[in-house]
Amino acid sequence: MRQMALDIGLAPEPTLTGFLPGANAAAVQHLRLWAGGSTRSPVPTYLWGPPGSGKSHLLRAARHALGGQGAVVGWLDADSPPRLPFEEAWDAVLMDDVHRYGAELQHTAFNWFVNAVTPLSGRPRAVLAAGSLPPADLPLREDLRTRLAWGHVFELHPLPEPELRAALRQAADARGVFLSDEVMDFVLRRFSRDLGSLMQLLDHLDRYALQTQRAITIPLVRAMLENE
């Protein structure tokens, strides 16, 4: 595989305002109020839905919004090291891809959850988590699964094609990249249509176009795939 130069900062940080809600308006509005307030309820929020429904985008956007207010958050995902300690300085705990947690990460997640919501001392913290399944179906230890189901639970739905195109166009515009209708058609016919995969593809195209000093066209997409 040809090595591509990594230009840090090409992909903008996800934001709650930049997320096209589609059928997920209730969840997005809840998160905007949750992240935008000076205080956050310790009642947990759990988002679930299939790949491409925007779970990770919304969690990263919430982390970005909290950071903009000076809040300190704990972040846990399926690739995090196990046995990470809970930090008293945290204002919130965010846990992504909980359906992928193994036994050690489940232990960490349970420890974080309990220390955040029912601390022995100090103020309770907010918890925001996401996974691909509703809480009752998660392959997790029972005490963690029931706690994820305790608060606000929102099912997320992938965007229909017109809104998927709008989201892809919006993300390209944010990078200063022009995507023609022909390139958009080519990409949507030949690649996974979930939003997360399309955003990753756009990042690769952006980097490859910068490296080769070419506009993003169908021949450039083909050339990138051949080089990879």
Q: Mind listing the pLDDT tens digit for each residue in 104-148?
A: 999 999 999 999 999 988 889 999 999 999 999 999 999 999 999
CATH of domain 161-227: 1.10.8.60
Q: How far apart are CA 154 and CA 158, in angstroms?
A: 13
pLDDT at site 228: 66
Q: Mind listing the pLDDT tens digit for each residue in 165-193?
A: 888 888 899 888 899 999 999 988 887 77
- Angle of CA points 62, 49, 127, to nearest 5°: 35
Q: Which of 117, 73, 115 is nearest to 95 (CA)?
A: 73
Query: Is residue 201 very low, low, confident or very high in pLDDT (cuts 50, 70, 90)?
Result: confident
Residue 77 exposed, middle or buried by CB count within 10 Å (0-12, 13-18, 19+): middle
Q: What is the assigned CATH class of domain 22-155?
A: alpha beta
Name the segment(s) of the chain with CATH classification 3.40.50.300. 22-155
Residue with tokens 């001392």: 121
Query: Is residue 6 very low, low, confident or very high in pLDDT (cuts 50, 70, 90)?
Result: very low
Instruction: Look at residue 195 and tell me whether its pLDDT is greater than 90.
Output: no
The amino acid at 15: T
Name the segment(s) of the chain with CATH classification 1.10.8.60. 161-227
SS (H, E, C) 14-27: CCCCCCCCHHHHHH
Instruction: Look at residue 85 and tell me whether its pLDDT is greater than 80.
Output: yes
pTM comes to 0.77
